[in-house]
Structure formats: C-alpha cells, structure tokens
Amino acid sequence: MTNEAAPLNFIEHIIEEDLSKDYKREQLCFRFPPEPNGYLHIGHASSICLNFGLGERYNAPVNLRFDDTNPAKEEQEFVDAIKKDISWLGYEWATECYASDYFQQLYDWAVQMVKDGKAYVDSQTSEAIAEQKGTPNTPGKPSPFRNRSVEENLDLLEKMKNGETKEGEHVLRAKINMESPNMLMRDPVMYRTINKHHHRTGTDWKIFPMYDWTHGESDYIEQVSHSFCTLEFLPHRELYDWFLDQVYDSNKLRPKQREFARRNLSHTVVSKRKLAQLVSNGVVTGWDDPRMPTISGLRRRGYTPDSIKNFADSIGVGKRENLIDVSHLEFNVREDLNKKAPRIMVVLDPVKLVIDNYPEGKTEMFEAENNQEDESAGSREVPFSKELFIEREDFLESANSKFFRLTLGKEVRLKNAYIIKGESVVKDADGNITEIHCTYDPDSRSGSGSEASLRKVKGTLHWVSAEHALPVEVRLYDRLFTEASPDTNKERDFMEFINPDSLKVITGYAEPSVKNAKPEDNFQFQRLGYFVVDRDTTTERIVFNRTVPLRDSWAKIAE
C-alpha cells in the first residue's frame, strides 16, 4: 500500500503557483506577527501552525515579528509569554524582529512621502476625520489641511516626532483618494502621537506608526515573500500594495498579502479585549487560567503541543469562516493523552470500603500497567489493604440489572486486585452511607491464573488504599461559557453567559505513586478523565487540573 501525499491547501497552491512564475524557492520567507498586547489564544495557534508549518514544508525561514506600535497597550510580559508559547509548541523562528526596529526607516519613508506630496499632517479631531471619510455608499470629503505646503507638513511632523505637540492634536495621513469605494483608501492615518513609555524604545519616539503603514513595510524590510493574514484584512490588501508602491525597489522581492478564514471555537471568546476583561474583572485568575482559550491556559489545563497542532491540522485553512465545536479540540487532546498519559487510580468522591475478611494490618502490592496503549510505559506497584476508598457513585444499596457496579449481594472486581461482594452498609444519623462492608475471594487475585481469578464479573472499580492514600487538591474545570457563541448575541453582553460551574475544587485521594509528580505531568485518572499537575503544587500539596473527562459530557446535554 503506498502512502499518498496529502492534497495541497489553497495557501500552498498560491505558493506553488508563485514558484512556477516569478519566485525562487530560496526566496521564500514567512512570518508570524503578533501584537504584544495580550497572550496568544487558540486562534493564533492555527496561524502559528500555518506559518511555521509552511516553513518546515518548504525549508524556509519564519520570522517572529512583534507588531509593537502601540505603547499604551503593549508590555514585555506579553512578549515573553508569546515567545514561550511558540517554543512550547515546538517551533523555532529564524529571526526575532520588532516593528520598533524599523521606526527610523518608516519615519524616513514617511518624510519622503510628504516631500513627494503623498502624505500630509491633518489637524482635525479624530471625530471630524471619521465624519469626513463618508460611508461605503457616499464619498468622503477632503480635509481642509489636505493641501498644506510640504514645508509646513515637514515642520509639524518633526514637532510631532519630538513631542512638541499634544496627543490627538495632529496625525499624518496618506494622500490617496477620498472617493475610493474602499474606505481604507480614503487618506488613512499613518502616524499618531502617543506620549507613553515604549517597552523597547523608551521615550525616544513620541509618534508611532499605524498597523497598515507598518505591516507591509516591515514585510518588505525583512523580505517576507508571503504575508498570510486572516480574512478581515482582505480590504486592507489594496492599501498594503499602495504603501509598498511608495518604497518598492524592483531589485528586491515584493511581498504578497493573502488571506485565510478564521476558525472560531465554540464556548469561548478570543477577542483580546474581552479576554483582558475576564482577567481584570476577576472572572478568571489570569491570562493562563485553565479555562482561558489562551495557549498558556490550555498548557496549564493539560493540553499538549501535539494535541493543539493536530487540532490545527485537522481543521485546516479555508476561505470561509466557521465555528468549530470545542469538542473537536477536546477530542484531539483525548486522542493524544490516551497514547501518552500514565494511568493512575484516584478517587474524587470517596466512601470507605471495608473488606471484612481481609487480614488486619496486611498490605499487598499489586502490579498495575502504566498505559495499555504503550508497552514501553511499564508498570508500577499499588498498595492494597483492608480499608479502601471507592467512588460514592460506584455503589448502590439496591440496583437493577443494568447497574454494573457494587451493590449488596453482587460481585465486582477491584482493578488489578480481587473480586469482592457487597454485604452491608453503615449510615450516619442523616441516613448517609459512611462505610460499605464487603468480603473478598482470596483466590481471585488478578493475573494469578486461578480458576477464581478467571471468573467473569460485569463491573470493575478503581480504588485507593485508605492507609496509603495521598490527599490531593483537584480542580474540576469545565467550559467557561454556557453558550456556543457567547459574543455574537447583539442584545446580551458576553459576560452574561459565564458558566457558574466552570470550576469546582475538591479533595481527592490518589495512589501514592504520584507523590513525586511534577507540574505539567499528565495522567489519566482511570475511569474519570485526564488530569495534569498544576504549577501551584508544593511539597506538601499536589494540585491537579482536569483537562477533559474521558467522554464528552456536553454531548448528552445537547441531545
């Protein structure tokens, strides 16, 4: 059977077509250009995987360029977090770049545009400029300052640069076409004054370039061959090309902007403004809260790099936006962790199980597979004694024939151990069961090969020896929003859809083998789900975050 190559996506078709015409393979260069005004989220992960994946496919460099042109919102913390996330996903960038590296070149080009009569300083308010731009159906009107002299424009621009003007007093605009059907071409703003400290340039610059002026010119400086953006930047392509026309040297490669559709994820918001609102309002504990759709949050939740990359690969790139159900992301992490995560026994809602005929003070060690999906994972020893903890929901005093767990008068197997039979219960004054008493068959030990051990019973329960149990804090995370698309309802604020049950903190009991587990160690709690050790873990207390249950519990709710 031959392995057929995967079909090319439309982005790869664009590259292949360019290679067949005027591009050389050695000229290929891609980039990932985040703005450091927040943490990267799952939407960025798709763009990261696209650009770095193309770099791997074509053996081409991929630059990491920070679009750091707004000191009012950008911080070094976000730069550091972005670099950490990309490295964690397993990608290496060729060059670490910053738009601020190009401030002088961008300014010099802007000065030349003023001299060429292609840019001018506008002294109107932002509201007046917006009003004069017109509407998609009505042309804009020229600014009264559109025909300022070159000398006056250069003088004002220099004063803006030196901080001799107030914020909002002047802007530099490109002189294009106020009647263009594309409103972005109606004399767009190139520079504005911001009197704030920049995380890299300090207070050297008082004016900062706008995205549209910065982005294409940065691509050109870096000789990026293909600048891939999400679909909302399609109207910007005309402006991207117009700005390149002003600086392009035919001896150099000219970048191309092309667009692909966002893949939105259900039960999340990915607007940085809204994510920042969740943080500032205390809905979550920070940008890396395990309920956040940030890459840092997913990492802390227990998602693996491969699960995120597999997810991005499975949804692909397209030309039309659509909403991907978060269950698809959860499926990918289950698939990955099923192969990789060691199995352990943990009881989350414990009730004591006493084996009446088991010897007092006796402890046995049972061998348990670490992962039946991975032969190389080996095994571990688990202690067994007279008193155990089992899950409260695994016992009913009386049950019908469809209940395959423990009940009075019926047998079940304790995983890797013995077959037991329910005998009686002890209750408190309120009628709550505090102890379950049972008997065991000493000849039924798992793996012994005895006739009793081969006896078929319908249920198998996980358990933890009460004497050896390790108390652990378990954070049961769930989806942050109850609605599939919480930020598209025009009549209600997205905050109204916060899931009040998105976090429940309990104490569970784990087998002692996890005593030395480290943050980011993944486990499958047998029969319960996938969990990861949280960074809040100390030598006195292990903290687990639930990544996902073993099965999609929301699917039942939706039925």
Phi-psi region of 449 (alpha: psi -120 to 50; beta: other; left: phi over 0): left
356 Cβ contact list (under 8 Å, min separation 6): 423, 437, 438, 439
Is the pLDDT assigned to residue 556 strictly greater than 60? no
Segment 288-292 shows an average pLDDT of: 97
Segment 427-432 shows an average pLDDT of: 94
Phi-psi region of 163 (alpha: psi -120 to 50; beta: other; left: phi over 0): left
The encoded tokens of residue 508 equal: 């569970």
Is the pLDDT assigned to residue 3 strictly greater than 80? no
Segment 240-259 shows an average pLDDT of: 96
In the sheet that 387-391 helps form, which strands lie side by side, from edge to edge?
460-461, 411-414, 419-427, 433-440, 350-355, 387-391, 464-465
Exactly one of 200, 256, 272, 300 is catalytic; name it: 272
Exactly one of 262, 299, 309, 413 is catalytic; name it: 262
Is the pLDDT assigned to residue 322 strictly greater than 90? no
Segment 395-399 shows an average pLDDT of: 91
| Contact assessment for residue 117 and residue 153, using Cβ atoms and an 8 Å cutoff | no
Binned at pLDDT 50, 70 and 90, residue 559 comes out as: very low
CA distances to 330, 390, 434 from 429, rounded to whole Å, are: 43, 22, 10
Least confident of 46-50, 226-230, 255-259, 399-403: 399-403
Residue 272 annotated to the active site: yes
Q: E strands of 266-334, at which residues?
A: 322-324
Binned at pLDDT 50, 70 and 90, residue 375 comes out as: confident
- What would the pLDDT profile of 153-168 be if each residue is shown by its tens digit? 999 999 999 999 999 9
> Is the pTM value of this prediction over 0.85?
yes
Which pLDDT score, from 0 to 100, does residue 555 have?
54
Exactly one of 35, 259, 369, 435 is catalytic; name it: 35
Rounded distance, CA 192 to CA 167, Å? 8
- What would the pLDDT profile of 186-226 be if each residue is shown by its tens digit? 999 999 999 999 999 999 999 999 999 999 999 999 999 99
The total number of residues written for the chain in this structure = 559
Which pLDDT score, from 0 to 100, does residue 2 have?
44
Is the pLDDT assigned to residue 1 strictly greater than 80? no
- What would the pLDDT profile of 329-374 be if each residue is shown by its tens digit? 999 999 999 999 999 999 999 999 999 999 999 999 999 999 999 9
Contacts within 8 Å (CB) and 24+ apart, 11-16: 11/50, 11/54, 11/228, 11/258, 11/260, 11/317, 12/54, 12/57, 14/226, 14/256, 14/258, 15/54, 15/58, 15/226
Is the pLDDT assigned to residue 4 strictly greater than 70? no
Residue 83 backbone phi and psi in degrees, to 5:
-60, -40
Which pLDDT score, from 0 to 100, does residue 117 have?
97
Output the CA angle 379-385-386, nearest 5 degrees: 150
Which pLDDT score, from 0 to 100, does residue 214 have?
98
Is the pLDDT assigned to residue 558 strictly greater than 90? no
Which pLDDT score, from 0 to 100, does residue 83 have?
98
| Contact assessment for residue 255 and residue 227, using Cβ atoms and an 8 Å cutoff | yes
Residue 344 class from Cβ within 10 Å (0-12 exposed, 13-18 middle, 19+ buried)? buried
Rounded distance, CA 162 to CA 437, Å? 83
- What would the pLDDT profile of 258-269 be if each residue is shown by its tens digit? 999 988 899 999
Is the pLDDT assigned to residue 557 strictly greater than 50? no
For the chain, what percent of residues have pLDDT higher than 70? 98
The CB-side HSE value for 410 (13 A sphere, CA atoms) comes to 20
pLDDT averaged over the chain? 95
Which pLDDT score, from 0 to 100, does residue 532 have?
98
Residue 320 vs residue 97, higher pLDDT = 97
Segment 109-133 shows an average pLDDT of: 97
25 Cβ contact list (under 8 Å, min separation 6): 19, 58, 60
